Structures are given as structure tokens and as C-alpha cells.
Chain A
């Protein structure tokens, strides 16, 4: 199972913070966390920054399925992505681009040295749907 991300979701990824991610441990215990950065890699792949949320990364490494909610504020709707953890990168162009973006945000918010990218976690997109905001 796989899905393609539509073009219109790209600005939502830039604009849609905070993003909510729901994961589940191998024992079936769910976890919901807030993610500050979602990066568009290609129409079938997104990347999340691994900075603080250790339970999320622990869960997806045990049980790779996750759900992500993006808020499309100007359009008044939400995007729900079904994704599957694929692998993590600690170097290379995707990591470098994410690292620079996080460093820029850290500089802009006085958090230089605190916001630091440990790895870029890549997820395959399994499904995309929109729902109207409640």
C-alpha cells in the first residue's frame, strides 16, 4: 500500500505546525506527541526531525505504523497521513537541509544549541486524506 502526496500539501507542511503524530508500542500502548518539523522529501516520502520525542522513535522502531495530522489553517481543514517508518539518516542532503532549517529556527527563537537534529527519520506515505476541521 502506498499513496502520493498532492502538491498542495507542501505549504501546509511549512505552515502547519504543530503537527500531531500518533504511534503505538509493540505491546499496543498508544502515544501521541507534538512534532515541530515535517519535511517534504518526495511525493511518497516525508521526514520527521528526531530531537526530543524519544518515545515516538522508540515506538516506530518497534512498530513502524504511525498517523500524522497536519493543520491547514488558511483552508480550515486537516490532513491525515498514514505513514510507515522506513529508516533514519544522520548525514546526507536530507539530513543537512533539515539540520540547517532547525538551526535557523533555533537561532530565530533563541534556542541555538538546544534545538539540535539527532537524525532525520524517513517515513513512507501509505495514505492521505483530508477532513474538515470540527
Chain B
């Protein structure tokens, strides 16, 4: 090897340039980490005879490096660890400096002599054990190049040799150049791998969302053979098949508007695209706006990154806006603009985002009356009710009671592992007289409670005693001669309202003509939490 020639001849210069061109072209042709490592090692071996090389990457905890590629070794070194600071490789990583050492055979002999001197002098305790590190056992010369992106360590590239005493300064320069190229290529490959994994995760989430949060529901899955329900289901089928971009579902609480929305989606040609839903009363205006339309980074204090809203995430699919009557007039205007122009702006954004999707809105309120009161925009009302479908209350389809009872009985019997087989004819008659102000949801809750508390295989009227057939009676409140506990009455009213609304405090508040905070305070005061179910883990 020519140690003296530090200045390059023209031929050498041309060869160096050709080498740089070759390696930079090859190394930038891929984002695959294994391929990049192979290119680096092969090029170094082919062009400069560096037959033994290791590429190590920094572990996530930053305490050690792991071998990800090795070339020219008898035994595979893959996965071998080098602690930061240990050996030439670990030291190059720790100091962020290229290290070139040679004559290691003689130096080992010298070190061994020093070691025996130290041991003979009784100071053997000062000697540490030499760590077992990957590489040639009889290495003579080594160059370790830290792979750095700015000042951040990515890993180390190490070349070794057993048949020459030292690598030259030019070898060091070449290895350094390759190290720089390798550092950025490896850094990009790692970023690419991270993005690919994130993308894979998102794809899975999207697939799950497209699958309709678990399973697909069709209109035939909506239980009901009564005339009222058959009419409603016929209308839902027409709606699902239509290309209309808006649907309005109306009906009392608990009539199954959410199930109908999902069924429309799953039975439409949008079934493979996402179905997203949101309850407008569940979020404050600002949060609802951000959830629906998304926001740009820095749009408000906590907006640390750009976020896509439901409208964007559901592109090509369906967004179900439950309790649309609770949406503020400001957001109604934004929603109307979206329905008219198929475009919206993220909160804090300046550019329009265009998506194509179907909006299914639902409400239990009289939107027409709200329009008259000025609480709902008339233009939005007419835009939404292009295809209105009203779902009948349970009291108008008591013929469906038996079918619904069977459905819920089977469901809760399996869930609670209770041996409850049927409902007695007396109980069925009792339930048929009940007005069901909470509709199917109330029936479902009643069956759940009855199965949970049942002591025999057949549910009788006593298992549904909480349901008084007289319903709300004439609505008059009578004060008994002996007086009453107002707190007790208040507790029972709040409990009944919560139960009827599946513990939705906003809806319970509306039933009682109070505001949500009033209900929330009393629910807390009286300990009226949603009952936990046996066998279900607490969140």
C-alpha cells in the first residue's frame, strides 16, 4: 500500500470521483435498509478491498448499538450488541469522532505485558475484563465511522482488516465519505420504515372503520314486522339505494335512528368507505367544530399538529350527525356551506378541502317548530329533509314486542350467562300495555335489568314491575295527606329520566325541562351512575 502518496494523481482523482458517483447513485436508489447496508458494504469491498465491515444502529434506549449488517465474517454477527463507549466502535459512537487504529496485534501483546505487570504488582483489581465484541478476533487495523445526522447519532460503520497493520489516511477519508452517504441514506430508510409502519397501522384502523366498527348491519337486521316498521324499512331501502347526499331521520328517543343510519350506509354503494358518527349534543361548540372539520396546526392553544376532521376522514362514505337539533346556529351555517359546496375549511385553515360523502342527520326534536322559533336555520332544514324518514315509536308497533323481547333476551342471557329462556304471556301482556316513552332503548334496558335480576327461567310481570302500564297517567302530581320527601321524588325523577335515556344527561335534562348541569349535579349527589355489568372490565 502506498502510504506516502497523499496528493492524488489525475487517474486517482478520476477513480475517486467514479467511486463517489457509483456509491451515491446506488445508495440513493432505494429506501430499503437491508439493501442500503448491502450496497455500502459491497461497494467498499469491490472498490477498496475492505472485505470485513459491520453496520450498527443505535438502539432505541441510546445505550448500545446493534449490528444490522455484517460482511466477510465467518460467523453471523447480526443482532450482536456493542455498548456505547466499549471498544473502538462504542468509543467512536460516544465521541462522535472517526477513529482509526492499527498495529493491534502488537498492541495487544504490549497490553498483555502491561496487564501481567499490573497483576504482578498486586493491582489486578484495577483491570477490567475486555468486553467480547463482534468483529475479527485477530483484527490488525480498524476504522470506525460514526453515522451522524447533524449531531444526532444514527449508528456506526466499521471496517476491519487482519492482513495489513494499518489503514491509511486516504482509507479513512474514503470510509468517512461513505459513512456520510450511508448516514443520510440509513436515516431516510429508518424514517421511511417508521412511516410505512404507521401507514400500515392506519390502514388497519381504516379497514376496521370501513367494516362499520365491527360488523355490517343491513336494513333486514332492524327487527320489526309491524305495518309501521315495514313502511319505515321500505323507505330506508329506497334511501340507501338513492344517490342523495343528505338524509334526515326523525323519531322519538330510542327508536333506532343510529341503527337505521348504519344500515343505510352498509346497504349503500358507500359500504366499503368509512362510516363516522358523532352526537352533536355531546361536545361543546368549539370542540364539535374541530371534530367535524378538523384544524390546522396552531389554530388554537392545544392544536400542536394538523388534525383531520370526521368529514375528511369519511371521504367517500357517510357521516351520521345525531341530535342535529342541538347544533349551534354558527355550526349550522358551516354545515350548510359544506352541503351546498361540498367544501369546507379546517379550523384555522385558509384553503378549501373538498370531499364527497353522505350526511345522515337525526333528531327527536321538531325541527320545523325550531325553525319558527329561530333556533334552527330554515335553509339547512330544507337542505336536510330532501329524504326524510320517520321511525315509528314502539307504542305504535306493539306487535313487534315479542320479536324484540326474543332478540334482547337471547343477547343478555348469553352476556350474563343466565338461564332465562322466555317471557310469560302475562308479562308480554303487561309490557303491551306500557306506553314505552323511551321506545326500543327502554325495552332493551328493561330486559337487561330483568335478566340480571331474574331468579327463574321465565320472566313474569313482576320482573318488569318498574314499568307501570299507566305510564305518566294524567301528569298531575298529588301530594299525599301524610306528605312526602321532596328529595326522594327528585331522586326518582332524575333516576327515571337517566334510565330512559341510557344515562345521557343532555337528553335526561330535556325530558325534565332542566339544563344538563342540573342533572349532572343531582346524578352525582344521588349516586345515579350508569350501572356496571358483571364480567365486564372497568375502564
Residues of A within 8 A of B (CB): 7-8, 10-12, 14-15, 17-18, 36, 52, 73-74, 100-101, 103-115
Check A111–B168 contact: CB distance below 8 A: no
Check B99–A109 contact: CB distance below 8 A: no
Check B102–A14 contact: CB distance below 8 A: yes
Number of interface residues of B (CB under 8 A): 36
Docked complex Cα distance between A112 and B4 (Å): 32
The reply to whether the CB of B97 lies closer than 8 angstroms to some CB of chain A is yes
Check A11–B91 contact: CB distance below 8 A: no
Residues of B within 8 A of A (CB): 3-4, 6, 85-88, 90-92, 95, 97, 99, 101-104, 106-108, 110-111, 114-115, 118, 126-131, 139, 142, 165-166, 168
Check A107–B87 contact: CB distance below 8 A: yes
Docked complex Cα distance between A15 and B403 (Å): 94
Check B128–A105 contact: CB distance below 8 A: no
Check A108–B88 contact: CB distance below 8 A: yes
Task: Give, as a whole number of angstroms, the nearest-CB distance from B142 to chain A.
Answer: 7
Given contacts A18-B106, A104-B101, contact A111 B95 (CB under 8 A): no
Check A114–B101 contact: CB distance below 8 A: no
Nearest opposing residue in chain A for B87, CB measure:
A107
Check A114–B127 contact: CB distance below 8 A: yes
Check A110–B101 contact: CB distance below 8 A: no
Docked complex Cα distance between A104 and B142 (Å): 10
Check B108–A109 contact: CB distance below 8 A: yes
The 6 residue pairs across chains A and B that have the minimum distance between CB atoms: A110-B130, A11-B3, A109-B111, A104-B99, A8-B4, A111-B111
Docked complex Cα distance between A17 and B104 (Å): 10
Nearest opposing residue in chain A for B110, CB measure:
A36
B131 surroundings in chain A (CB, below 8 A): 110
B130 surroundings in chain A (CB, below 8 A): 109-110
Scoring A12, A17, A107, A110 by chain B CB atoms within 10 A of each residue's CB, the highest score goes to A107
B85 surroundings in chain A (CB, below 8 A): 107
Check B118–A114 contact: CB distance below 8 A: yes
Check B4–A101 contact: CB distance below 8 A: no
Check A7–B114 contact: CB distance below 8 A: no
Cβ contacts A to B, 20 pairs, < 8 Å: A7-B6, A8-B3, A8-B4, A12-B3, A14-B102, A15-B103, A15-B165, A17-B103, A18-B106, A36-B110, A100-B99, A103-B91, A104-B99, A105-B107, A107-B85, A107-B88, A107-B90, A109-B104, A109-B110, A110-B129
B99 surroundings in chain A (CB, below 8 A): 100-101, 104
Nearest opposing residue in chain B for A73, CB measure:
B165
Check B6–A105 contact: CB distance below 8 A: no
B139 surroundings in chain A (CB, below 8 A): 108
Check A107–B86 contact: CB distance below 8 A: yes
Nearest opposing residue in chain B for A97, CB measure:
B97
Docked complex Cα distance between A115 and B112 (Å): 12
A112 surroundings in chain B (CB, below 8 A): 86, 128
Task: Give, as a whole number of angstroms, the nearest-CB distance from B323 to chain A.
Answer: 69
A113 surroundings in chain B (CB, below 8 A): 126, 128
Nearest opposing residue in chain B for A11, CB measure:
B3
Docked complex Cα distance between A112 and B130 (Å): 8
Check A111–B114 contact: CB distance below 8 A: yes
Nearest opposing residue in chain A for B127, CB measure:
A114
Check B114–A114 contact: CB distance below 8 A: yes
A100 surroundings in chain B (CB, below 8 A): 95, 97, 99
Task: Give, as a whole number of angstroms, the nearest-CB distance from B141 to chain A.
Answer: 10
A73 surroundings in chain B (CB, below 8 A): 165
Check A110–B4 contact: CB distance below 8 A: no
- Taking A7-B4, A111-B114, A115-B111 as known contacts, 9 extra A-B pairs with beta carbons closer than 8 A to each other, sorted by chain A number, are A14-B103, A73-B165, A105-B101, A107-B85, A107-B86, A108-B87, A108-B107, A109-B111, A113-B126
Check B86–A36 contact: CB distance below 8 A: no
Nearest opposing residue in chain A for B167, CB measure:
A14
Check A104–B88 contact: CB distance below 8 A: yes
Nearest opposing residue in chain B for A109, CB measure:
B111
Scoring A8, A103, A105, A115 by chain B CB atoms within 10 A of each residue's CB, the highest score goes to A105
Q: Which of B95, B104, B114, B129 contacts A108 (CB 8 A)?
A: B104
A110 surroundings in chain B (CB, below 8 A): 111, 115, 128-131
A36 surroundings in chain B (CB, below 8 A): 107, 110
Nearest opposing residue in chain A for B108, CB measure:
A109
Check A14–B166 contact: CB distance below 8 A: yes
Docked complex Cα distance between A7 and B102 (Å): 19
Check B126–A114 contact: CB distance below 8 A: yes
Docked complex Cα distance between A129 and B107 (Å): 26
Q: Which of A10, A74, A104, A111 contacts B91 (CB 8 A)?
A: A104
A106 surroundings in chain B (CB, below 8 A): 111
Docked complex Cα distance between A110 and B114 (Å): 11
Given contacts A17-B103, A18-B106, A104-B101, contact A111 B166 (CB under 8 A): no
Given contacts A101-B101, A107-B88, A108-B87, contact A18 B110 (CB under 8 A): yes
